Amino acid sequence: MKKSAFLGTLTVAGLAAGMVSAATLDDVKARGELNCGVSTGLTGFSLPDANGVWSGFDVAICRAVAAAVLGDATKVKFVPTTGQTRFTALASGEVDMLARNSTWTFSRDTDLKLDFVGVNYYDGQGFMVRKDLGVTSAKELEGATICIQTGTTTELNLADWFKTNNLNYTPVAIETNAEGEQQYAAGACDAYTTDASGLASTRASFADPENHIILPEIISKEPLGPAVRHGDNQWADIVRWTLNALIAAEEYGVTSANMEELAANSPNPEVKRLLGAEGDLGVMTGLDKDWAKRAIGVAGNYGEIFAATIGEATPIGLARGLNAQWTQGGLLYAPPFR
Amino acid sequence: MSDTHAQTVPFVRDTMLPQANPPTTEAGAVRWMRENLLSGPLNVILTLLAIAAIYWVVQGMLPWLLASVWNAGSIAECRQIIADAGRESGACWAVIRERWPQFLFGFYPNHLYWRPVTALLLLFVALAPVLFSKAPRQLLWFSAIYPGLAFWLLWGGSVFVPVVALLGLALGWAAFHFGQRISPLAGVVAAILLPVLWWLFLAGPVAEDLGNLLPRSMPWWMEEVRSDKFGGFVLALTIGVSGIALSLPLGIVLALGRQSDMFLIKSLSVCFIEFIRGVPLITLLFTASLLLNYFLPPGTTFDIILRVIIMVTLFAAAYIAEVIRGGLAALPRGQYEAADALGLDYFRAQRLIILPQALKISIPGIVSTFIGMFKDTTLVVFVGLLDPLKGITDAVRASPDWKGIYWEPYIFVGAIFFIFNFSMSRYSMYLERKLKTDHR
Amino acid sequence: MANVADVPKPSFRLSMLLYDTRYRSLTIQIVVFLLVMAGAAWLVDNTIRNLQALGKDFNFSFLGARAGYDISQRLVEYTNDSTHGRALLIGLLNTLLVAFLGCIAATVIGVLVGVLRLSKNWLIARLMTVYVEIFRNIPLLLWILLIYAVFTEAAPAPNAFRVNAETGEAATSMFLDAFAVTNRYTAIPNPVFGLDLGWLNIGLFYVSVDFLLLVAAIVVGFFLNRMALRRATRIQEATGDRPTTWWQSLLLLVGIPVAALIAMGFHFEFPELKGFNFTGGLNVSNSFMALWLALSLYTGAFIAEIVRAGVLAISKGQSEAAFALGLRPARTMNLVILPQALRVIIPPLISQYLNLTKNSSLAIAVGYLDLRGTLGGITLNQTGRELECVLLMMLIYLTISLIISGLMNVYNASVKLKER
């Protein structure tokens, strides 16, 4: 009673977002909108444009889930979260899922009561230095001053790596990527370390990208993936298999352009199952048959999304690398749709 | 004596000397400089130091400002234009030219910009009875309905939501009016209890039913804008103004509580005020974003902006309480005694005699509290809201076009903050002077 | 109700609880007390249920776990193998350091600017007005970021101080051969005790015995000076002549500590460019410098206004009266003007000190790891214990604030007008 009474006040305020029950799917459907936690602005992954329309690699996952569940990729409320507020926002039910370049780690998965449902980007921590420093390997960074963003796993990795390699360093803590770029560009630190994807986009934004190199060492594993609340397996399944559907679609050559045609007359039964032309996989998750078709229809399969947001044709210019399909020597490997 | 000067013709000037100009060192600019800049060795040194400081700032900034670029689509284009002009570095104001609506309005829909602007303009109308003593009394009615109106303008949606919410206030007033006939205490209790009950149980359904009954309650130009679209100065002003407005009643209660004779009430008020004033705002914002979920019933969740406004209100209330306490203390003891002599009870004495005067004296203090609050709204970036200073700036910088831009957005936002706050502080100083003459 | 029933009033009626002013306040207090208790119980109950629902618990054992991150500015020993509790201590000391130095610098700036604003020099008065208005009306966060950026953009790199072998000149030279502002850090002389008396473990960390002796010398000098002044006052009261005391004060206040310093072989080690960096001196990080400067300049602007108001509040008649009594200007200042001005200045000054301390929590904007950066930042983020971390952080800030205002209130009471 108290709960509804309290909410009565908030209804009046016109701002109430409702309550969280155990079944996130029901909440999302009732609300008619998916609340998706994203980063406050990270080039290529999630950023609002001049009109406040969010776009990016992480954002595309949110939109795909919204399309799969609600049938409309625009029915997403993007909630910007900081490194500190992201997990609380998810745990408290403020957001239904988190697509915010968060590293999947043991303690986050268990102690923080999150469930990482997969990996949408395999990243790793790297170093960028000025060319005239004459350094070609991170092992030569003895005594270097290193700019590092606080509150992330990167500072733990850095401490660990320098310890195992018996090197000394001076950390210069940085609050946001923008400050880090400014500090590094002004020469306040010898090296800048963050996820390799971030380094690439930072380097691309410099006036003189040719004077900076990214060192070959990748000192950590950073599997970035969407996360949901612990304990709601149905919802976790939906997000997990939406991601898998995007990855599998690329593997089977299903694109947003040819998907209708393939659904009708693909010789591959797995493609037909994926696109809902055969069997009813979607119904098992609590959705309908066409869920994956809608998810792929938003911005295409994984490869299309990658190419449009962070791929080599964009200013960020990331190569597929580890994020290629397993058939191409990468790590992307969607379980069978059966 | 007389002989010696017998022949001397006494000199008496019979014509006026022509007016001579004062010596050049005693007139015009030279004199002014001598008196104001070079009146002693210390002053000469100070003047030289000041000139050196001004020169240092100007020579650092001027070349950069002179090479300003206003028309460009991206930072790379900017750099190209500056390099073509043969300059080393220059300001790239093109980012402001392209993204200024975002700094001001956040992601508020373009075609609805007039709504926050109207709300801001109407704010000045609503404040007119406070700002200008000559404003007609009838305007007070407008001031009373302004919160609802502003809410409706900003968030849009059904007109009945703010109307029903305001009805709660009207209910409280009516309850107070009629309750007082029974006893003043009953009036106060009813005035607090009834609106709360109204808001808790009836307001929501009533607003919904009215909205369903009258489909025209939401004209097309009042479409709903959700708070996740708020950002930039719209967000800063929304949080700042509502924080101050909502904290006034609470602040008055706390100030009266702190002055109360009742031990428990007094210690509770003191504890609350000292606690809030003893912790940084950032920890309260953390409470809003990280801890409020723990303190509310399981499963409750609501808008982060509303949560931030609640915490900011509590924060401001403690400061407002101290300001008003100052006002209460500044009142001559005679005023309290006169109220007692008239046989007024506590509530009537406060309402009719003490508070009107105390609040009037406190206005400058309230204005400076507001300036402080307005500046502090930049801290909401640490809980993921898009404040103008860092939230929006970082969002703009995340776009590939403007990645790497640094000084220009900060200078632009700083300038707007300065204009706002400087005019407010000047106004409050004027007010202080005006109020002083009445009381001393 | 029970305590009301105890009152032996034969004519007591229940309605008197509301209408009799003797009982009404009691009724109100009991009602308020019950409401507050109910509210508190509601919050605690919710918290317990929420924690249960999330499968979390409320304990502080994470403070004993390995922190795993590095902090570049540490006043006492710390490595990434230390515990989160240790990191908290480092953060707390960093907060206290910047707050303490910030209060000193802000006071110096504030007094200087406040006086200069009243100067007859038109240019300097205007310049100071511009400074005060600009700093007061722009958010502190912006100042911290701008000053930080100015440091890194405008200051030369450490190797710009290198003497070029061919020309025999360096691109930049050090200030007095002792200070070097670079875009990474500011190198300052390092105070060293030549006679190492060892370190004393005071539970949390080690303190240099030399340092403790120095503090002891200063305290002893201070007390001896007070005794000397009291003696002078006694003589003055007895004879009417005040013996000259300035040389005694100088000897006691300065002489004793200096003697102690010399005895312990105190000297400075000057920074020197070796390789790519300065060594020998202390390298103070720019995040600290930027935060410290921004806090001092911002708060200094407020203090300047307070000082100006305090000076203006003393009517001219006071100094004229003092002169008429034959007091020399210095004594007029000491005995007449300052005591009165301080009474006006101290209370708002206390709240500025408090504000500065609380504002130091913005350190995170430039990556200075203070309490908010360690406990409320990285530790919170790594352990996910937001309830414990934020509550602990609030408690610590509250304690600091209460201590500051407590100390300053004691001082305020000593300069307060003694009302009779």
Residues of C with CB under 8 A from a CB of A: 42, 54-56, 68-72, 80, 145, 148-149, 151-153, 157, 183-184, 276-277, 285-287, 364-369, 373, 377-378, 380-384, 386
CA B182 to chain C, closest CA, distance in angstroms equals 11
Which class is domain B99-108+225-435? mainly alpha
B132-161, pLDDT tens digit by residue? 777 777 788 888 888 888 888 888 877 777
Tokens linked to B159: 């007109």
Q: Do residues C377 and A174 touch, judged by C-beta distance below 8 A?
A: no
Tokens encoding B351 = 């309402």
Out of A18, A85, A206, the one facing B290 most closely (by C-beta) is A85
CA gap B195, B164 in Å, rounded? 11
Q: How far is it, in rounded angstroms, from Cα A316 to Cα C74? A: 37
Q: What angle do CA B256, B260, B263 make, to 5 degrees?
A: 135
Which pLDDT does position B412 carry in this prediction?
Answer: 94
How far, in Å, CA of A46 to CA of C416, rounded? 58
B332 interfaces chain A, CB cutoff of 8 Å: no
With an 8 Å Cβ cutoff, are B301 and A15 in contact?
no
A52/B107 touch (CB, cutoff 8 Å), yes or no? yes
Q: What's the Cα-to-Cα distance from B118 to each of B107, B122, B234, rounded to whole Å? A: 17, 6, 12
Of B98, B106, B398, the CB nearest to A42: B398
- Give backbone dihedrals phi and psi of A8, rounded to 5 degrees, phi first: -55, -45
Rounded to the nearest 10 degrees, how much is the dihedral formed by the CA atoms of A26, A29, A30, A31? 120
Pick B268's closest partner by Cβ from C36, C140, C402.
Answer: C36
pLDDT-derived band at A85 (thresholds 50, 70, 90) equals: confident
Tell me the pLDDT band of C419, cut-offs 50, 70 and 90: low
Mean pLDDT of chain C: 84
Q: Tokens in use for B353? A: 């005699």
Q: Burial of C27 by CB count in 10 Å (0-12 exposed, 13-18 middle, 19+ buried)? A: middle
The H or E element that residue B152 is part of is helix B139-155
Please identify among residues 161-190 of chain B the ones whose CB lies closer than 8 Å to any CB of chain C: 183, 185
Helix (H, G, I), strand (E, B) or coil at B317: helix
B88 touches chain A (CB under 8 A): no
Q: How confident is the model at residue A151 (pLDDT cuts 50, 70, 90)?
A: low
Question: Which residues in chain B have Cβ-Cβ distances shorter than 8 Å to A10?
Answer: 302, 306
A171 and C382: CB-CB below 8 Å?
Answer: no
Tokens of residue C33, six digits:
């007390």
Q: Is the pLDDT of residue A20 over 50?
A: no
Contacts of A17 in chain B (CB under 8 A): 301-303
Q: What are phi and psi of B44, to 5 degrees?
A: -60, -45
Comparing CB atoms, the residue among C68, C72, C380 nearest residue A84 is: C380
User: How far apart are alpha carbons C332 and C329 in whole angstroms?
Assistant: 5
Full set of structural domains in chain C with CATH: 64-154+285-415 (1.10.3720.10), 190-269 (no CATH)
Report the alpha-carbon distance of residue C257 to residue B352 in Å, rounded: 62
- Looking from the CA of B137 toward its CB, the CA atoms found within 13 Å total 0
Between CA A234 and CA C2 the distance in angstroms is 56
Distance CA B395, CA B415 (A): 19
- The SS3 of residue C8 is coil
Q: Closest Cα of chain A to B366: distance in Å?
A: 25
From chain B, the residues in CB contact with A308 under 8 A are none
By the CB < 8 Å criterion, does C150 face chain B? Answer: no
Taking residue A277's Cβ as centre, other Cβ atoms within 10 Å add up to 17
Q: What angle do CA C89, C92, C94 make, to 5 degrees?
A: 110
**Chains in contact with chain A (at least 3 beta-carbon pairs closer than 8 A):** B, C
pLDDT mean over C225-244: 86
Q: Using CB atoms within 10 A of its CB, is residue C20 exposed (0-12), middle (13-18) or buried (19+)? A: middle
Residues with Cβ within 8 Å of residue B91, at least 6 apart in sequence:
B64, B65, B67, B68, B69, B407, B408
A170: nearest Cα among A159, A156, A185: A159
Whether residue C386 and residue A171 make contact (CB cut-off 8 A), yes or no, is no
User: Hey, how many other C-beta atoms are within 10 angstroms of the C-beta on C400?
Assistant: 21
Nearest CB partner across the interface for B283, out of C53, C387, C397? C397
Q: What average pLDDT does the segment A92-109 reach?
A: 88
Q: Could C184 and A174 be called an inter-chain contact, meaning their C-beta atoms sit closer than 8 Å? A: no
Chains touching chain B, criterion 3+ CB pairs below 8 Å? A, C
Tell me what the mean pLDDT of segment B199-215 comes to.
73
Q: Are strands A191-195 and A125-130 parallel, antiparallel or unpaired?
A: antiparallel
Average pLDDT over residues C339-345: 84
DSSP class per residue in C363-382: GGGGT---HHHIIIIIIHHH
Prediction ipTM score: 0.86
Q: In Å, how far is B150's CA from the nearest CA of chain A? A: 13
Would you tell me which residues 73-92 of chain A have a C-beta closer than 8 angstroms to some C-beta of chain B? 77-82, 84-85, 88-89, 91-92
Q: Which of C184, C277, C378 sits opposite A151 (nearest CB)?
A: C378
B230 touches chain C (CB under 8 A): no
The residue type at B186: A
Report how many Cβ contacts below 8 Å link chain A to chain B. Answer: 155
Task: Report pLDDT digits (tens) over C288-325.
Answer: 999 999 999 999 999 999 998 888 888 888 888 998 99
> Within 10 A of C276 (CB to CB), how many other CB atoms are there?
15
Question: Could you give all domains of chain A from N- to C-terminal order, each with its CATH number?
Answer: 24-120+225-328 (3.40.190.10), 124-221 (3.40.190.10)
Longest dimension (CA), chain A: 68
Which residue, C64, C66, C94, is CA-closest to C79? C66
Longest CA–CA span in chain B (Å) reads 121
Q: Which two tokens stand for residue C80?
A: 């990434």
pLDDT of residue C402: 92
Domain chopping of chain B, boundaries:
35-85, 99-108+225-435, 157-222
pLDDT digits 0-9 by tens, C53-88? 877 888 888 899 888 888 888 888 888 888 999 999
pLDDT surpassing 80 at residue B210: no
